[in-house]
Chains A and B, each alone.
Chain A
Amino acid sequence: MIDFLQNWIYLTGAMALVGIGLYIVLTNTNILRIIVGLNIVDSGTNLFIVTIAWHPKSVMPIYTATNNLVVDGHVVAADPLPQSLVLTAIVIGLGTTALALAIAVKIYQKYGTLDVRKIKEEDK
């Protein structure tokens, strides 16, 4: 399979983004910041998906006269499947963010605040 450890810097970046996003979601009390954290988690996952499909010596996955997909019995083409998966993941992330922002607007209209703790106090 793909020798994906060659891209360790991107993989580390993806993991770091997921970690940063989770930290933001868990520690912030403002709803908008939580939505930004969700977005960062999404970005980390998308970066991870793109990274596992690609390594520094890979070529484009389209067969032409000068573009050899197989060299010395090893597939050197980038893997096209995760790149199509990432499109779906990006669109889904966009939809979730839009819905979250719509709910945040509604919350601000009904409660007059975006602080999670104040909302909890008002509900009691």
Chain B
Amino acid sequence: MKTYNFAALLVGVPLLMAFSIPLFGFISKQLAKWITVLTLTFEFLFSLYILLWHVYPFNVIMGNWVPPFGENLYIGSLATILIVVISFVGLMISIYNLWSAKYGDVVHFALLFLMFVGGSIGLISTGDIFNVFIFMEITGISSYALAAYGPERRALGGAFKYLVISSIGSTLYLFGVLLIYTQLGTLNIAEIAARISQTTPGLLTFAGILLVAGLAVEAELFPFNGWVPDTYTGAINPVSATLSGIGSVGGVYVLIRIVMTVFGKNGNFVSTYGNLDLMTLIAILGTATVVIGELSALVQTNIKKMLAYSSMAQMGLVAMAFSIGSRLGAYAGIFQLINHSIAKAMLFLILGVIVSFGGERVEDMKGLWYKSPFLAVTFTIGALSLLGLPLFGGFWSKFALVDASFQRGGWYDFIMAIVLFASVVEAFYYLKVVGYIFTSKPAVSEKIKVEISPAIPIAAFAILIIAIGIFPQIVSGISYSAAHELTDKMSGYVLNVIPTIVGH
């Protein structure tokens, strides 16, 4: 067990800077925005240091209270790569916000944004099942306020819907946590994972359903994702990018950590304790999410709503990939999560620039190539990556997903059919938009002038997508070792946190 207490800064610095932003806001509004950029640059460089110098896996143990007696942060390979992705996406969106946050209470917008990113990083790194609830509420409360921000009144309806569903979800999650606590008397994820077989099966099943129901709200799985279209459409574009690029990563991470590490059994294929197989439940929910999300996206005329439904469907693909239960499946899920996070955040940012010059219907994309070649090419890159064309990032994750379901065999062949179905439907609606962009003549021949601060993040995302497409090694190596952390719960996770514990 390695200890590296400096990494507590990963969670501490954004939260500290978030609450001191109003002080900087007294001096100037621009300074408040630059503070977010500086803080997230620090986050990104520090997490990149942890990744490249191979500092992970380690624990953060403050005050020498070793787990399971004290609270700890555990940053393994999975948490490292996800923190790198989150802080990169957050940094890019904060650079974009230098341009886009012009009206209203800019200072408090910067505060909420930084709090959201800090909360997501805490959500991913914490090793305590109750702290997960606290970080869920930190990200939750800041994202409700972010979603309500903006000049349009439809944002309020979406934010309220999100608030109601998400706060009920986190209450259900708390209920599940407490049911497990009555059985085991501990809140440490590693100790719960090691002793999960000592619980009463009936109560464990009930607790598992409550936990999955609570976490599926953030992970955008089918019966709990009614908020997605309204909130994404209502919110301003950088907020939609934040929710789909950062919020869903945290949600999926916790869901998978609970289902695969806490409830999982060691073995080639992860299966679960209790009367009900949670992995099968996730597979069913994921399949339903993909089918419903893709078919809903197909008929949308509002491009923002189309992206929202597509985001839902992609999260379904991620959940399905994890539910295969093998190492290759977990690898495909992590890879797909990263690809989706980058590509969908980029599409929302591009849409933000386009919307500031015109409407957001699909017809408004007509002739974008003649208005702004830069936006047209980057939008095409993002769309092609999402539908999984070779030479773009999304191809490798979908390929691994098909490969994993083929190797598992049995009824998991069904997943292969769903993935191919999803790709065809995605090709249909994304290529429709791409066709409008390149072939139609624009209604008004007014040029779109892209300023430097929105251009930097869009270009960086586009270059990253192509880089992953050509050299998948930059993500796939760490993703594959992260998959080991999920499928082999004792040697991958539990023994790294509590070396002396005996599994049951």
Residues of chain B whose beta carbon lies under 8 Å from any beta carbon of chain A:
130, 133-134, 137, 140-141, 144-145, 148, 153-154, 156-157, 159-160, 163-164, 167-168, 171, 174-175, 178, 181-185, 187
Contacts and interface: CB of A to CB of B under 8 A. Distances in A.
Chain B interface helix/strand/loop/mixed: helix
A80 interface: no
Chain A interface helix/strand/loop/mixed: helix
Contacts, number: 79
A100 B160 contact: yes
20 contacts: A1-B182, A1-B183, A4-B182, A25-B164, A34-B164, A38-B167, A41-B171, A52-B181, A52-B182, A82-B181, A88-B130, A89-B133, A92-B141, A99-B141, A99-B163, A100-B160, A100-B164, A103-B148, A103-B156, A104-B160
A22 B168 contact: yes
A59 to B, nearest CB: 18
Contacts of A85: 130, 178
A110 to B, nearest CB: 4
Contacts of A88: 130, 134
Interface residues of A, number: 35
Interface string A105-124: 01100110000000110010
Given A25-B164, A38-B164, A52-B181, A120 B175 contact: no
Interface in A1-58: 1-2, 4, 18, 22, 25, 31, 34, 38, 41-42, 45, 48-49, 52
Nearest to A52: B182
Given A88-B134, A120-B157, A103 B163 contact: yes
A82 B133 CA distance: 14
A42 B171 contact: yes
Interface of A: 1-2, 4, 18, 22, 25, 31, 34, 38, 41-42, 45, 48-49, 52, 79, 81-82, 85, 88-89, 92, 95-96, 99-100, 103-104, 106-107, 110-111, 119-120, 123
B102 to A, nearest CB: 20
B141 A96 contact: yes
Contacts of A34: 164
Given A42-B171, A103-B144, A123 B157 contact: yes
A64 B137 CA distance: 38
Contacts of A95: 137, 141
